[in-house]
Structures are given as C-alpha cells and as structure tokens.
Amino acid sequence: MNSLVLLTGSTITRTVLHRQLEEIIGDYVGITSFSIEEGLPENPLENQFIVLSHKLAETIPSIQQCIGPGCKVISGKRIINYENIDKLLCYPTGTSIMFINDSLETCMETIESLQELGINHLHYIPCYPGNLQFPKVDIAVAPSNFHQIPPYVKEVIRINPRLLDISTIIQILDHFHLTEPGNVVSQRYMRKIIQLSKRLVDAMQKANDSNHHLHQVLNGVNDGILSVNKAGYITVFNEELGHLLNVKPERAIGKKLLHVLDNPELVAFIQNTDKEEDRWFSLGQIEVVVHRFQLDTDQSSVATFKNARKTIELEKRLQLELQKKGYIAKHTMADIVGQSGPLVAIKEKTMKLAKTELPILIEGESGTGKELFASAIHNCSQRSKGPFLAVNFSAISEDLLESELFGYEDGAFTGAKKGGKVGLFEQANGGTIFLDEIGDTSLKLQARLLRVLQEKEIMRIGGSKIIPIDVRIVAATNKDLLTMISLGKFREDLYHRLKVLFLHLPVLRERSDDIPLLIESFMKRSGAEQIRIMPDVIEQLKAMPWYGNVRELKNTIDYMQAVCDGNVIRLSDIPNKNSFQESLRSVQSTPAATEYSAPASLPAPFTFEDEELLSLLDALYAIRESGQIPNRKRLVDLSQTWRKPLTEQQVRYRLNLLEQRGYIQKNRGRIGTTLTPSGVAKILANRAKKPGM
Ligand SMILES: Nc1ncnc2c1ncn2[C@@H]1O[C@H](COP(=O)(O)OP(=O)(O)OP(=O)(O)O)[C@@H](O)[C@H]1O
C-alpha cells in the first residue's frame, strides 16, 4: 500500500493535518505522522514520501536528520482553517482584534489570508511569543492550544492550525496518481473545500443581510442620522438626512463632512468631542434640532437631526393624546398660591427635587396640596412631556388596584378582559406616577411596589415576561408612616425607597398670611370676581384652624359665593361651625391616631341643609342606577323639580361636602363621582324611611 509520512512541529498541527489527510486519502494511502513536540523517529526514514507541515521545517536540524536516502519530500503550503473564522464577519467595521499566533510571520500570513478572503474590515493587532504585549481589546483570535489570554478579553475565537492548501494536496494526489478525472479522492477533497467555502459565503450573506436590515432601519427612521469617523469622513448618512439637507446619501457617504455641509458652525458642532449636546440650527427654510454625541468605541461622532416644526407638532399631538386619556398634570409651580415663609421655602425645595429622577414622598395633612405639588413636580421635571398618572390607593379596592397598576395577561383571572390589559405603570412609561394615599396599601401590594422601586420592572398578573419601566414615582400620604411601621402596617424598606427625597407640606393654620391670596385666587378661578368679600370675613377666616387645610378653605369660599346676597360676602355667610372639619386629635383616639387630621372618609352627621344633601346623594344614586355617569350638569337638571333648585356652583359645593363626609368619591376621567358604601347605606336607610323619594 502507498504510504506517507507527515512531520510537524507541534502536536496540534500534527493532529489537524493528519486528520485532513486521512479524510482525503486515508482509504488509499497509509499515513504516519510525527511531531517535534512528541518526538521524531529515532532512525532516519528511507524511501518515504514525506510531507513537511511548513517550508521552514526543512531548515530544522532534527527534521533534517529524519530524512534518510531515497525519500521524496514536499513542504506543505498552508491555508487558514475556515472553522470559526466566519464569526469574525459579525463584528462591525474597524473593530480591534488581538490576533495571537506562534510567530510574527504566522500572524501576518494568517492575517493576510483573512484579508484575501474578504474579512478585511477589522483591525488586527498581531501578538506572538516574544511580543506578547496584549492590547486592551475585547476580542481575541487565538490558536486552540494557547491559554494565556488576558482575563479582560470578553470573547476568544479559537482557530485550529491552518490546513494544507489545495496546491499541496494536488502535489500529494499527483504523487499517488490520484488526480485522474472522476477520481473519488479529488472529488472528496473538492466537496470538503466547497463545504467550507459555502459556510463562509453563508456567513457573509448573513452579514450582508444584517447590514441590509440595518440600512433599512436607518432609512425608515424619521430623524436624520449622520456619523462621521475620527478622520472626518462620513460613514452614515440616512435618507431622511438627505431630505433635510437636500443631498443624496450616496453623494455624501465616504466624503469629508466639511465638503458636504456648507455650514461651518454645524460642522464644528458635530465634530466637537465635548459632552453630548443639543443645538438649534436653521438650514435654509428648515429649522432643525441637532443632538450630538461620540461613540466610545471608535471616537466617531454621531448626530441626529430633528425637524423642529414636525417635532413640535408631534409633541402637541402627544400632549393631546395624553390629555384625552386624562394623563396630564394639570398644575404647575405657578398654581401653588402663597407667599408665606413656609410656602416659599417648600416651593424652592420642590423645584430642586423635581429636577432629579429620584422618588419623592410628600407628607402633609389632608387638603394641604399634595396632589397639586405632585403635579407641579412632574411639570417642572425632565419628564414633563411624558404622561402623569395619579392613582388613589384609598379609592380603589385592593384587587382592582393590583390589576390597574400592573395590568394582566389574557385569561389571567375570571372576568379578565380579553387580550389582557396594560397596567398604569406601563402607561406611565417615560413620565411620572403619583401614588396618592400610599399609607392605605396592603402589605401584599407594598411588597409588589417595593419590587418596582428596586428593579424598575414589572410583571403583569398572570404573565411571565419582565417588562422594564421608566417611571418616576411620587407618593403621598396624610398618615404618619413611621407609626404605621412600628405597628407593622407599613414596610420599612418600602418607606425608605419612597422617601429618598422628602417634602413635608405646611398646614394652612401655620401660614394664615396666605389666606387672602388663596381666597383671591379661588374667586378668580371660579369666575366670581364681581363678588366682594368684606375685610372682617377675611380676618375671621384667617383666625380659623382649617384642619381640612386649603381644600376646606376652597370649599368654604365656594359655599359663601353660592349663598351670599348682592355679590357681597359677609360674616353671616360663613358656614355653621359644625360644617368645619375638626382636629382629629380632639375627636379620635385609636387606631387612626396615625393620621394628622380627620380623614375625609369619616361619615359625620349632617349638620347643614340635610334635606338638600340627601336629595343630591339620592339623585347621584339614581343617575348611577340608570347606567349614566353623574356630572354636575345632570344633577343641576334633576334639581330643577326640587323645592329649591340648585345652581352648578351649589351642586359643586354640596358634592365637596358629601365627599368630606365620606359619602361619595370624586374620581378623575370617565368614572365620575361614585358612592361609597356609607353613601349607599345612607340612601337606602333614607329611602326606607321615605319610600316615596
Ligand atoms: N398652595 C395652594 N395654592 C392653590 N391651591 C391649593 C394650594 N394647596 C392646595 N390647593 C388646592 O386645594 C385643594 C386640595 O389640594 P390637594 O387635592 O392637592 O390636597 P391633598 O393634600 O392631596 O389632599 P388629600 O390628602 O385629601 O388627598 C385643591 O383644589 C388644590 O388645588
């Protein structure tokens, strides 16, 4: 039988080349192989056909000693081993790659072969014994037996020793007369080569496809996108930018930026390597906002161009959408009325805290303006263009609250809406969520909220997907959370997460100097500027304790406007003493001693125009029963048949009173006013007394 002896330097090369030859000619030729590493034959070989793994092997003395008389020797030429090399195609142009091999020569040879194969978009840095000063890069190509790769390298592409190239294989086949057309050996070799090439082509195709895809994405974007490399040449220029600048992308890519843009100020701005920045530019008829930043990897500058007019229109549309859904913050810092020391101080603090992204806890008695401040915080934060959603924890039942906040997947529970539901946290993405009355949350919900604050992600009820959310949390309470923590009713960890920043709103009795300003603003807001208020009334109002704070003051003003005669508010118009909210401390002992003041939900006996209030409550109930949403207009209409028909303002005042007494709950948006269980009980008891009503 024919025989061949393979001589190599390293064991790994011997194994790889032996396998290669075995696959091609193993059926016809007996192959023996030796490596210097493992030891060469002790006696010189005679009359053998010897294949050396490398041209240089001829010059190695131990190899020379092996070659005895009658031997025919050929030095193999080698070609890069395709296996794993296709991975290199996936890296972006210009990526730096540490290229390790046994000598500078083999490094350079292999790098050249790669470049010839078309894998020439990368920056290869040769490393070899004698020059193992590893560069600080994330990717390395290294022989499979090389193990001293620095630990910071994130990905190592292992390459097997290079294979014998086709010319060497043909020489071997020739020697054994195996090259005749149709010979199975040459066919097998060709098949192998074709398979390898096909893999390479496939990988290139994949790279092309993803390039094409990226190209489509870039051109589908509504903003102009530009990238300029370190040397000032344009590498990315999408179609939208072409429209904005009136330049065809193919005429821009590859050109120097300053030859394409004739606005030196803009060129300087884009190539400025300082921090990220936005600037407004006029380009002919078009106004654009340019955002510039630098890529860390290769110091390219990237700039996005937004058409200012379109962006403003888009923002307006977005605001309108949010408005339609009721997801906007109605109040700004300017709506917070008052010039007293405590109010000015808290406004200044609020403005500073609003600028951060951290959660804020607002504490304060009922009616001090917690919701007003939350709304103002959103509007002067960087999220002001995003949605603002307010959730009142005491107004919604626990189960409903959980599904409202987190949403649910299709079929998560009986009665779940088909197709699932997007929760409020998801809807508030990019904006602020206001968690009002946070002290009224169950421990179970507190645990879920804690996770949101810690992980900034949620999972819908019945879902398994983790959804990241970008929402700022502002929470408020009129309860003393520290006491609740000591009673085991509030989680301490949640408290600290919520209270990263903290605002304690001053009570009205500590800033009675603000009362005249507040009165003036409420009168203006309700369009009652023609009504005069006597100075002694203001003095008396300033002297009152206002346990219901600004809300109570506002309700009182509304009431006085409704009842006053001849457009003048006099002392006699101030409501009966019993109508005012009492200090909780004087009314209650436990367990709500955790609250600062009487909660609005405590049903109190009617002391003011009982009959009218009951009629109104009944009317609300009737409207709800008929499946309609009660609003002020409907209530005014209904009252026209009563002994004393009500005006819209009177209805509003009475609704406030009903809410303070805990009989109704005024909700935002489409839910409208709802009756609380105490309200329903009151109606039913009243109807039982007066069946005709
Ligand atoms: N400084 C202020 N300037 C103008 N209006 C105010 C001010 N503070 C509160 N208000 C008004 O008082 C009413 C009650 O305010 P808000 O609902 O924000 O109070 P709250 O503290 O959230 O009450 P609760 O604890 O009962 O929910 C609102 O109509 C609000 O606009």
* C-alpha torsion 488→494→500→505, nearest 10: -50
Residue type, 81: N
Return the CATH number of 85-159, one of 1.20.1070, 3.40.50, 2.60.120, 2.30.30. Answer: 3.40.50
Nearest alpha carbon, ligand 1 atom 8: 369
Q: From residue 337, give the alpha-carbon distance in Å to each of 344, 423, 502, 515, 516.
A: 10, 34, 20, 9, 10
Ligand 1 centre to CA of 522 (Å) is: 12
Contacts with 325 (C-beta within 8 Å, 6 or more apart), sequence order:
387, 427, 669
pLDDT bin (cut points 50, 70, 90) of residue 304 is very high
Ligand 1 centre to CA of 553 (Å) is: 10
Does position 499 have pLDDT exceeding 50, yes or no? yes
Pairing of strands 360-363, 501-504: parallel
Indicate which atom in ligand 1 lies nearest the CA of residue 362. Answer: 21
Indicate which atom in ligand 1 lies nearest the CA of residue 392. Answer: 27
Domain 508-594: assigned CATH number: 1.10.8.60
Nearest alpha carbon, ligand 1 atom 28: 551
Ligand 1 centre to CA of 302 (Å) is: 46
Among 551, 581, 601, 665, residue to substitute to test ligand 1 (most atoms within 8 Å of Cβ): 551
Residue type, 594: T
Ligand 1 centre to CA of 344 (Å) is: 16
Same fold, 2-79+171-196 and 326-504: yes
Element (H, E) at 205: helix 184-220
Query: Domain coordinates of the chain in residue numbers?
Result: 2-79+171-196, 85-159, 221-310, 326-504, 508-594, 610-689
| ipTM score for this prediction | 0.95
Alpha-carbon span 375 to 370, nearest angstrom: 9
Nearest alpha carbon, ligand 1 atom 29: 551
Catalogue the E-assigned strands of 68-223: 72-75, 78-79, 96-100, 123-127, 139-143, 155-159, 163-164
Indicate which atom in ligand 1 lies nearest the CA of residue 521. Answer: 4
Q: In this predicted model, what pLDDT tens digit does every residue of 75-127 receive, in sequence order? A: 998 877 767 777 787 777 778 899 988 788 878 888 887 887 778 888 899 99
Does position 209 have pLDDT exceeding 80, yes or no? no
Average pLDDT over residues 380-397: 87
Indicate which atom in ligand 1 lies nearest the CA of residue 343. Answer: 1
Q: From residue 51, give the alpha-carbon distance in Å to each of 67, 80, 192.
A: 11, 18, 20
What kind of architecture, by CATH, is found in domain 2-79+171-196? 3-Layer(aba) Sandwich (3.40)
pLDDT on residue 598: 31
For the domain made up of 221-310, the CATH class stated in words is: alpha beta
Q: In this predicted model, what pLDDT tens digit does every residue of 516-545 receive, in sequence order? A: 999 999 998 888 788 899 999 999 999 988
CATH 2.40.70.10, applies to 610-689: no
pTM equals 0.49
Burial of 364 (0-12, 13-18, 19+ CB in 10 A): buried
Q: Is 277 helix (H, G, I), strand (E, B) or coil?
A: strand
Report which DSSP code applies to 410. Answer: T
List alpha helices for 58-123, DSSP H. Answer: 61-66, 104-116
Q: From residue 519, give the alpha-carbon distance in Å to each of 107, 331, 512, 557, 685.
A: 84, 18, 11, 7, 38
Q: In this predicted model, what pLDDT tens digit does every residue of 549-605 receive, in sequence order? A: 999 999 889 888 888 888 899 998 888 776 676 654 333 333 332 333 333 333 333
Pair 408, 420: CB distance under 8 Å: yes
pLDDT on residue 332: 94
Domain 326-504 fold is Rossmann fold (3.40.50)
Ligand 1 centre to CA of 449 (Å) is: 25
